[in-house]
Structure formats: structure tokens, C-alpha cells
Amino acid sequence: MRFFALQELANRRPLEVNIPSNKLSDYYGSHVFDRKKMQEYLPREAYKAVTNAIEKGTPINREMADLIANGMKSWAKSLNVTHYTHWFQPLTDGTAEKHDGFIEFGEDAEVIERFSGKLLIQQEPDASSFPNGGIRNTFEARGYTAWDVSSPACVVDSTLCIPTIFISYTGEALDYKTPLLKALAAVDKAATEICQLFDKSVNRVYANLGWEQEYFLVDLALYNARPDLCLTGRTLMGHSSAKDQQLEDHYFGSIPPRVTAFMKELEIECHKLGIPAKTRHNEAAPNQFELAPIFENVNLANDHNQLVMDLMKRIARKHNFVVLLHEKPYNGVNGSGKHNNWSLCTDTGINLFSPGKNPKSNLLFLTFLVNVLMMVYKNQNLLRASIASAGNSHRLGANEAPPSIFSIFLGKQLSGILDEFASHIDSKQAGIESKTTLKLGIGRIPEILLDTTDRNRTSPFAFTGNRFEFRAAGASANCAAAMIAINAAMANQLNEFKASIDKLMEEGLNKDEALFRALRQAIIESEPIRFEGDGYSEEWKQEAARRGLSNISHVPEALTHYVDNQSRAVLIGERIFNETELACRLEVELEKYTMKVQIESRVLGDLALNHIVPTAVSYQNRLLENLRGLKEIFSPEEYEVMSADRKDLVRDISRRVTAIKMQVAEMTEARRVANHKDNFKEKAYAYEETVRPYLESIREHIDHLEMEIDDEMWPLPKYRELMFTK
């Protein structure tokens, strides 16, 4: 398999990619049912109904729905579309869709093409095969998908895709989009109230997301020759290559032509779908790349990320690549994350994480900044739960990865300004009220930020001038999980902050003084979350422990913090989930974790026993033959000298083969015991504590054997082949 794959690889050539037009605007958004197309294809009143629904949340009545569906169908047919699908985001990785044709029987049983408002607005896919954490009884397998008007329909692969939410028959969310929309509404409401302390004209606050999708490409033939990659998305074995990322020559280096062709086509398809793909570059590891669009509002940005992950997989195949979205496909080299750049912006056009031009607007900026500090400080465990997964745990908290500690990097100067602010005892002293002279540095913030170019790459939550960059999210994750946590937690924090100001004002303080006191207290209280140093260092682990910050690398334990008191105060308190939904969320996550480790463990066991052990034994036989030959020909004295190293090798191979066989048997037994646990939590804990360690220890023996055994005999493509070939 391996050599066949390498031969195929030698014959690969870059594919030709046709650019639809030299002018991007000729085809940008051509496959999106956007406002321009709505105006063209919808009667006036139907157009109004959609825009009202988008802007004000007004319901769309049946008559209008029919008109909209009809217009949508006409537009879709202009792109030769025959099918439509309600596209949704179940709690598995990726998206789900069920395709239906526009075909129907008319009154006289004749075939007609139809797409009614009813079909546009709501559907009932069989939900029983999606994870639901026990929400639905088996006899009631129905779930609903309902159109999310705020994200436009589009045409992907000749199918009309209608973005939808997915809820159970009893009304509980079974997807990522439903709670995301709730979290966004919650942060909108809470942030607007705070803004109104400064500016009454603010009516809405939008959250923005700019994601950066990292991924690896691997040649299709080599991928197919690695059962572990095919079945688990990562390599479960493989000795590190003699050269990997040490030289860092790959980062920003030139991109191989086959890869460029893939990227070009991917970008064209993104642009047709109105996804503003902007940057592409090599990442730290060989054959690792990144795609980042211009930021958009969170809901749309997240739909676009889901579409992109899908597009990537499909287009990669065409170019004889497989895209790996796993967080750690290869041990020993950089993993893949998905940085979430997050900001809040008012309907009056003010970025709340961007310092303004005058002291008053800087105070608004400072207010939001300080509330982010508090939000992260209080919700470290919820944030961690939102990104914890089997795959991501290799990126965070594992041996060669940064620790799983949350901290915020602000930059020294901005951090200094906060300290200075908090050192004053009242707003007068701090100079808040004075319009002309400013004692503290609030007035200097814009200049200072221009200087703050030292972007700390090791911080999991970094302030980068006009946004926060949440770097802990994994490459394969749905950004919604992190965005639900962050926006809900921010809503909760802002609500508490507002309540504390109200209380101080009730006690007789004026608004400025109340604001000052609340800010000062938050700055002091949240101080432990600020960290400017190396987030990957051993000292930080100790320092963080002294500061009382949590550091949890045990995945199921990290997940169970979804239901700790603080997380419940946020998620249930802000009405993002109800009790049942939250319990289900946790159950689904624990179950996903268990299944992933279970599959990895089975695959490793199989490969060890039927690929590795037989190869090791064959090679050992060759060594034994060699030893017998030497003994026959040479004198006993000569033989002793000549055979010593080979005998050692035979011994070592024997020792490792025995260890592998024993450990595979033990691991199978550990799995059996774990499988008998009768609740999700215990099962996940058992997999983490008793099964998972074998993945490491078995692999270690295999990786040694890889170095000992003749390269010609090794059955699986090696790291150097997977990572360096074009």
C-alpha cells in the first residue's frame, strides 16, 4: 500500500483552475439569495416581509412564505438547481442536510415543480439519528428544522441550502444555531443597556466573528494507506520526521503549486457563496495552512465557517488531497486551531473594543474591556468546557502543548493604564469628569495601542487592538460552541455590572462616580486573569496555580464544568438553555468524547496486531537468518563480536512485540470495563483514565520499531512522506 501510494504521488500534477472573471465583483455572492436577488425575484410585499423578519424579527405569514419560496425557487432554477435542503448544525461535527427535489404531484397526478412556503419555513427530518442526549423518546423521533431568516439561502453543489435551526418535537434545541442566536440576543440586550449609559442613541449591539481556519493537507493516496487517518482523522503512530518544523522555513514560505491550485478553487467557491475569504498562508508545520475571511456578524460568520469546512473537504478531493481538520493529526508538530476573533459593535458604528478619540468614548472602551476581563476571569471553566474535546486536548493541556489555563494578554501599557485607573480612589481624582486635563492615561490609549505591536502568540485570549482573539478553539469545532459561551458569559457579566452601578446610584452616587467605583472594583478583582508572559512555560503553570486559576487537562472533567454553578448562572440564568437542554449538551459532549477514544483505541489495537507485529516478526526472522549464517561461516570468537548488535536488536524487537501484545490486551479489557459503566460521565471518565493512557504507551513501542525495522518493509506511510510531499 505504502509504495503504491508513493508511486501515485510521484505522478501528481497541479490541476488547472478557471477563474470565472477577472473582476471578483462579477461573481462574488452569485450563489447567495441576497437582498439584491430578493428584490429581483420577490414581489414588493414579500421582500418587505423578509427584511422585516431579518431586522425586527417579525414573523412571516403563510401567504408571504409562499411568495418567498416561489421567488427563491425561480432564482435557484436560474442556477440549474433541482433540489433543496434544510441545512442545519447538529451536535456532531459538521452539518446535516436532507435533499428533496422540487418535484411534486399536481391535482391531476401530473408532475409539477413546487416549493411551498410551508416547506421553506419548517420541515421534519427524522431526528433520531442525531445526538440528542436522550431528549427524544424512541417513539417520538421527530424534530423540526425552521428557517433562520438572518442567514441567507445559498446554492451549494446544485442544491438550494436553507440555513435552519433544529429543535425537538418538544421544543428543545438539538443544534448549535438555536442557543447561538439566543446568546447573541442576550449580549445585544445587555451591551445596549451599558452603551446607553454613555449614548442614548445606541439601540443594538452586534457581535462579530472573524475565524482563522487552520488545516493540514495530505495526499489522497497516502491518506488511504493510513487506516488510522481514515478512521480517526489523526495518526495514532509515526516516528517524527528527521526534519519537521525546526527551521520554520514553511511559515509564510512559498506554497506548492498543487496546493495553490486547491486554494484558488476554494477561494472562488467561497466568493460565489459570499464568504469573504481574504488571507491564505502557510502555517507553522509542514503542509499546514490557514484560511481567514473578513469578519462578519457571528451567526453568519459561523454558517460560513461550516460551509467552508465542507467546501474544503470536497475541493481537496478534486485535487487529490484530503483536508485534515483534526486538532493534532501528527504528534510532535504544531496542531490546528481555529482562532475566534471576537468584537462587539453598536448600530451607530462604534467598535466597543476600539478606543475612541475622546476621553468619554475611551471610558466606554475601558468599560467593555474591563468587563471582558471579569467575564473571562469568572468563566474560565465555562470557556474551557466550550472548547474541550478529544481532539483539542492534544493541542491544550497535553505533554507537548500549552497548558489549559485561561488568561488575557492586554499588552504592558494598556495593563498599566488599568492599574493606574484602579489606584485612584474616586472619579474626581481619576480625572474622569474633567473635560480638559486627564490625569490618567485614558486619553493616551489610541497612541499606545498603535505601539502595542508585540502580539503575544502564547495567550489563549489576547487583546489585539480592536478585538479579542480566542485561540483555544479547535480546528474541527463548530465556532458556535465558543461563541455561545463567550457571548452568554459577556451578557451575564454586563448585566451584573449594570446591576452594581444601579445599586451604587440608588445609594446616592452620581453616574460617573458609580461607574468609576464599579470599574475600579472589577479591575482589582479580575487582576489574576491578566498575564503578559509566556503562556506555554512551566513557570506559568505554577504562577497560575498561585493565582488560583484553573488548569484542567482531563477532558471529561473539563466538560462537566458546563453544569457547575457559574456556568449554570450564565447559561440557564441568561436563558440560553433550559435545564434539560443543558444536561443534554453535557451528555452529548461526554458521549462524543467516549466514542472518539473508543474508536482510536480499537483502530490502534487492530493496526498494532495486524500491521506492526507481523512486520516486526518478519524483520526479526531476517535478523535470525543472518545470525545463523554468521555462526556457520565465522569462528565462535569472530561470531561473538559480529553478532552482538544484531542479537540486541532481536531482543529489543521481541521485548517490544511482547509489550505491544500485552498492552493491547490490557487496553481491550479496560474498554470492556468502561463500556459496562452505566452512565455517560463514568464511562467518559473511565475512557480518559484507563483507556487513553494506552494510546500513548503502545504508540511509543511502535514508533521505536519504525526506526529499527527496514524501511522497505514498513507498511504505513511515514511522517516525512505524509508531511513533506507535494
Residues near ligand ADP, by CB under 6 A: 208, 210, 212, 279, 292-295, 339, 341-343, 351, 466-467
Nearest to 208 by CA among 230, 221, 191: 191
Task: Considering the complex, state which of residue 241 and residue 341 has its C-beta at the smaller distance from Mg ion.
Answer: 341
- Smallest gap from Cβ 306 to ligand ADP, in A, equals 16
Nearest to 94 by CA among 197, 191, 23, 175: 175
- Smallest gap from Cβ 207 to ligand ADP, in A, equals 9
Amino acid at 126: D
Q: Rounded distance, CA 547 to CA 30, Å?
A: 53
Partner touching 452 among Mg ion, ligand ADP, none, CB below 5 to 8 Å by kind: none
Partner touching 343 among ligand ADP, Mg ion, none, CB below 5 to 8 Å by kind: ligand ADP
Task: Considering the complex, state which of residue 211 and residue 216 has its C-beta at the smaller distance from Mg ion.
Answer: 211
Q: Cβ(257)–Cβ(169) under 8 Å? A: no
Give the binding range for Mg ion (CB under 5 A) out of 92-100, 331-339, 400-408, 432-440: 331-339
Q: Could you say whether residue 339 binds Mg ion (CB under 5 A)?
A: yes
- Smallest gap from Cβ 217 to ligand ADP, in A, equals 18
Neighbours of 329 (CB within 10 A): 29
Partner touching 302 among Mg ion, ligand ADP, none, CB below 5 to 8 Å by kind: none
Q: Rounded distance, CA 146 to CA 162, Å?
A: 9
Nearby residues of 180 by Cβ (< 8 Å), 6 or more positions away: 298, 299, 302, 480, 483, 484, 487
Task: Considering the complex, state which of residue 467 and residue 701 has its C-beta at the smaller distance from ligand ADP.
Answer: 467
DSSP assignment of 456-520, as one string? -TT-SEEE-SSSEEE--SBTTS-HHHHHHHHHHHHHHHHHHHHHHHHHHHHTT--HHHHHHHHHH
- Smallest gap from Cβ 344 to ligand ADP, in A, equals 9
Task: Considering the complex, state which of residue 212 and residue 496 has its C-beta at the smaller distance from Mg ion.
Answer: 212
- Smallest gap from Cβ 610 to ligand ADP, in A, equals 43
Partner touching 441 among Mg ion, ligand ADP, none, CB below 5 to 8 Å by kind: none
Partner touching 208 among ligand ADP, Mg ion, none, CB below 5 to 8 Å by kind: ligand ADP
Task: Considering the complex, state which of residue 285 and residue 705 has its C-beta at the smaller distance from Mg ion.
Answer: 285
- Smallest gap from Cβ 416 to ligand ADP, in A, equals 23
Helix (H, G, I), strand (E, B) or coil at 127: helix
Per residue in 265-280, is it b (16+ CB within 10 Å) or e — as a string?
Answer: bbbbbbbbbbbbbeeb
Angle, helix 479-506 to helix 359-378, in steps of 10 degrees: 120
Task: Considering the complex, state which of residue 95 and residue 456 has its C-beta at the smaller distance from Mg ion.
Answer: 456
Angle, helix 298-318 to helix 479-506, in steps of 10 degrees: 170
Give the binding range for Mg ion (CB under 5 A) out of 19-27, 91-99, 338-346, 374-382: 338-346
Partner touching 467 among Mg ion, ligand ADP, none, CB below 5 to 8 Å by kind: ligand ADP
Q: What angle do CA 54, 60, 62 make, to 5 degrees?
A: 155
Partner touching 292 among Mg ion, ligand ADP, none, CB below 5 to 8 Å by kind: ligand ADP
As given in the structure block, the three cell numbers for residue 434 are: 474633567
Task: Considering the complex, state which of residue 130 and residue 295 has its C-beta at the smaller distance from ligand ADP.
Answer: 295
Partner touching 226 among Mg ion, ligand ADP, none, CB below 5 to 8 Å by kind: none
- Smallest gap from Cβ 471 to ligand ADP, in A, equals 9
Which of the residues 155 through 214 are near Mg ion (CB under 5 A)?
A: 212
Residue nearest to ligand ADP (CB): 210
Which of the residues 468 through 497 are near Mg ion (CB under 5 A)?
A: none
Task: Considering the complex, state which of residue 353 and residue 421 has its C-beta at the smaller distance from ligand ADP.
Answer: 353
- Smallest gap from Cβ 179 to ligand ADP, in A, equals 21
Partner touching 411 among Mg ion, ligand ADP, none, CB below 5 to 8 Å by kind: none
Q: Rounded distance, CA 377 to CA 14, Å?
A: 49
Pairing of strands 288-293, 205-219: antiparallel
DSSP assignment of 206-243, as one string? EEEEEEEEEEEEEEHHHHHT-HHHHHHSS-S--PPPSS
**Conformation bin of residue 575: beta by default, left when phi > 0, alpha when psi is -120 to 50:** left
Q: Could you say whether residue 338 binds Mg ion (CB under 5 A)?
A: no
Nearest to 172 by CA among 161, 182, 187: 182
- Smallest gap from Cβ 492 to ligand ADP, in A, equals 21
Partner touching 279 among Mg ion, ligand ADP, none, CB below 5 to 8 Å by kind: ligand ADP
Nearby residues of 20 by Cβ (< 8 Å), 6 or more positions away: 26, 27, 268, 272
Task: Considering the complex, state which of residue 339 and residue 520 has its C-beta at the smaller distance from Mg ion.
Answer: 339
Instruction: Return the bridge partners of 145, or none.
Output: 123, 166
As given in the structure block, the three cell numbers for residue 631 are: 555462526
Give the binding range for Mg ion (CB under 5 A) out of 129-137, 183-191, 337-345, 524-532: 337-345
Partner touching 545 among Mg ion, ligand ADP, none, CB below 5 to 8 Å by kind: none
Q: Where are the alpha helices (DSSP H) in 507-573?
A: 511-525, 538-547, 555-560, 565-571
Count how many residues are written for the chain: 726
Task: Considering the complex, state which of residue 344 and residue 603 has its C-beta at the smaller distance from ligand ADP.
Answer: 344
The residues binding Mg ion (CB under 5 A) are: 212, 339
